[in-house]
Structures are given as structure tokens and as C-alpha cells.
Amino acid sequence: MDKRSHTRRNFLRGTAVLGAGAGALWAGIGAGSRAGAAGVPRPAPARPAAAPSVRGKVYAGYQGWFACAGDGSPVNAWTHWASGTPAPGNQTFELYPDVSAYPADALFQTGYAALGNGRPAKLFSSYLTAVIDQHFHWMQQYQIDGAALQRFGSDIKAAGQPRLQQRNDIHGKARSAAEKYGRGFYIEYDISGLDDGTLVSTIQNDWTNTVTGTLHLTDSPSYAREGGRPVVELWGLGVSNRAGTVDGCLQLINWFKGKGAYVIGGVPRGWRTDSGAKPGFGPVYAALDMVSPWNTGNANVDQQLFDDDYAQLKANGQDYQPVIYPGFAWSNWHTGSPRNEIPRRAGDFMWQQAVAVRKCGTDSAFIAMFDEYDEGTAIAPAATDASMIPANQYFLTLDADGTHVSSDFYLRLATAATKMINGSAPISPTVPIPPTV
């Protein structure tokens, strides 16, 4: 099976290319308050009064790609956690999750020693309904507007294979969870794994036959719409190590528009200047309804970058969805990389990005990512300290920068960031929430 064939995360660091496809395998695919743990009452689900939009909203990218041997999924094997059973020296993720809120039957035993607190080292499967339900419950509880469901080129081209069935099942379950908890969602195609000759036809066929066909995702009252138009994102347009010619990308964008869709483009950070990007893609960027430059990997908070992006898009009559993220590291599966490579700084790194977004003038944003423990960008609950990771393997913990924060800290931070970005709360120059609750 190909290595990491559909991840976007490893294409950009600073202004340099990280390298395509390095690292982990895809073989198919308690928060501080113990929110949602067994026996804890949940609020009544809230369905959206009207179709959710993306303008003026903050969405989080949702991978849904972790699987475990014995989880009953089509793949039924360890994926994204490791190739084979996760054990010391065999893992493809950096940040250990806090699994205390998941039911026992959603957790699977690893080959690690017990956690520092004596509990068995187990991991969750993203395939299970209870796990997806918990994720969308957290989105409701922490007022995250919704999820961009990642749909990978390397999956959708695998017709008839377990990995595609896995992805389809997860998206169907995510639809149900979004409806149950009143969250928006939309499909985000990551074009990784496709080539110039298959890009257009593969995505067109998947949208027609599966997304709007057998899965009927756009029929959901929770499917995001902008001006009545179903939202779709194409991630990787103009990215130097991804598929797509100018003509092919324009054909695909215009095809979606002809179907009545509102098209977001996930583009390189240097899209305006062709820096670290394919040259000549200006017409592609200009054809998009909303532009979302990929900022993950940029270790600096660049106010001027956000300002200039917003100014150009506003002048063009286009919408802007900047990307913010909490931090980055992948030393457990990318040999030679430093631990805690881009520190979270106890939330200040993500917060200052959110401040820059609000100051630039837009009221929309994309958080990368909700559940990517692989490269340490997850905002979902994670291990706070050594007591919550295996005693015999290094993992990044949330106290790495010297401040103890609760496992749900980054969900709480996302709440505050969402309110500041959408204008319902004033700009705060410093992180406005306590480390623990």
C-alpha cells in the first residue's frame, strides 16, 4: 500500500517544500470536563434552522481516517496510527489522544506499555458511529460551526476497494452526526493521489455518482450552502507537488459552478506571487468563489500575509477563508525531524493567528485540523502530560511548552477564536481562556 498517498500536510513548511508522501501509512483510511463520557447527560441535539453557510463561519478540517484491527470496518486494520499494531518504534502519529470520553468498545489495545497513570494504552477507531458522534457533539459543545469532510483522491480512485467503502461509510455517519448536533458540513476534495489525466473525471464521477448520488450528502439540511449553492472545496489547486493543469483545474471549477455549487479553493500560501506554487495559476484562483490559502507549516504569524490576501480577494469580489492551526510536529514517523517542531506555546500560537485573521477584515476561517494527531495539529482532546501517554514511547503532550492545560483546551480556544473571528467578541491580544477548568 502506498505511503501517506493522500495527505496534504507534508507539502509546506515555511516557504519550502516538505516533500510529498513522507511517512505514515493509509491502508484504507476525556476532555478536561470529561464531556460526553459514559453516563454524562448531553444537551438535546439542535438541528440548524436553515442550511448553514461558510461565510462568517469557522469550520474545522475533519480527517476521520484512524482505523484499528478488529473495529469491524471494511479495512479492519491499523491505519494512520501505525502500519500494524502500534508499539514502541512503530507509530505514525505524534500527539497522543485523550480517549477517556469514548465508550470502551470504541477503543483498541496497542502494543505499548500502560500509560503513566496505569491505564491501558488504547486508541480509537474513526470508523465507529460512537466516535464520530462524540466528535460532532464536541463541535456543538464548543460552538465550532462545522466540519469540512476530507475526501481524498487516493480513496475515490480506488473503486471497489475497502478504503473507498470506508470513506463513504464515515461520510454517511458524519452526515447523521452533523444533523443530530446541528453542525454544518461540506465535502473537501484533497486531490492528492490523482494525476493530470484523471483529476477532472475522477472527481466529477465521485460527486455525481456518490456524493450527490448514493450518499445524498447535499440533500442534508446540515450540508453547507452559500446563497443556496452547495459548498465544495478543491484542495491542492496550484500546489507544486499535486496534480492539475491550469486548463484541467478551470474545467473542474467551472463544471462545479455549472452544477450550481459554490467552490472553495485550497491553494498554496504563496498563491498571489507564485511563491512555492505552480506558475501561471492566476486564472484558476480568480475563478474560485472563496480562496483558502494553506498556512499550516508556517511557523510565523504574518499579519501582512493575511492583510494582503484579504485585500486582493475583496477587490476581486471573492471570499477569503484563512487557515489557522495550533502547532506542528511529526518526529515519531518522520526520521530526523525535531520534537515539538512548531510549538503550540500554550495556545498563543493559534490565538495570534486568529487575532491576525480578525484584524485583516474577514469573518471566516478554517481550523487545521480537528482530529489530526498524526502531525500534532489536532484540536480534539489530547494527552496533557506524561501521565496520559505510554511509559515506553515518546509522544507530544499539551504541556510541552511548560504550561499545564486541560485536554480540551484547544476546543475551548476554538470557541473563543470563533467568537472573535465572527465579530461576536472583541479582539483580545492575549489568550482569553484559563489553561484549565
Please tell me which residue, 17 or 390, carries the higher pLDDT value. 390
Of 4-8, 209-213, 285-289, minimum mean pLDDT range: 4-8
pLDDT of amino acid 7: 53
Question: How many C-beta neighbours within 10 Å does residue 205 have?
Answer: 15
- Alpha-carbon torsion (232, 7, 178, 349), positive or negative: negative
What are the phi and psi torsion angles at 413 (to 5°)? -65, -40
> Whose CA is closest to 28, among 78, 101, 89, 85?
78
- In sequence order, what DSSP letters do the residues of 185-252 get, joined into one string? EEEEEE-TT--TTTHHHHHHHHIIIIIIIIS-GGGSTTB-EETTEEEEEEETTTBTTS---HHHHHHH
pLDDT of amino acid 47: 52
50 pLDDT above the threshold of 90? no
Please tell me which residue, 39 or 86, carries the higher pLDDT value. 86
Which residues are CB-neighbours of 314 under 8 A, at least 6 positions away? 320, 361
Quick check: 23 and 77 in contact, CB under 8 A?
Answer: no
| Residues forming a β-bridge with 187 | 149, 232
Quick check: 299 and 342 in contact, CB under 8 A?
Answer: yes
CA atoms within 13 A on the CB side of 30: 13
19 pLDDT above the threshold of 80? no
20 pLDDT band (50/70/90 cuts)?
Answer: very low
> Whose CA is closest to 145, among 76, 61, 58, 26?
58
Of all residues in the chain, the percent with pLDDT exceeding 90 is 88
Average pLDDT over residues 17-33: 32
Alpha-carbon span 199 to 203, nearest angstrom: 6
Using a cut of 0.85, tell me whether the model's pTM lies above it: yes
Average pLDDT over residues 396-416: 98
120 pLDDT above the threshold of 70? yes
Residue 76 — left, alpha, or beta (φ > 0 → left; ψ -120 to 50 → alpha)?
left
DSSP tag of 263: E
Of 9-13, 388-392, 413-417, minimum mean pLDDT range: 9-13
Average pLDDT over residues 296-308: 96
What are the phi and psi torsion angles at 71 (to 5°)? -85, 0
pLDDT of amino acid 51: 84
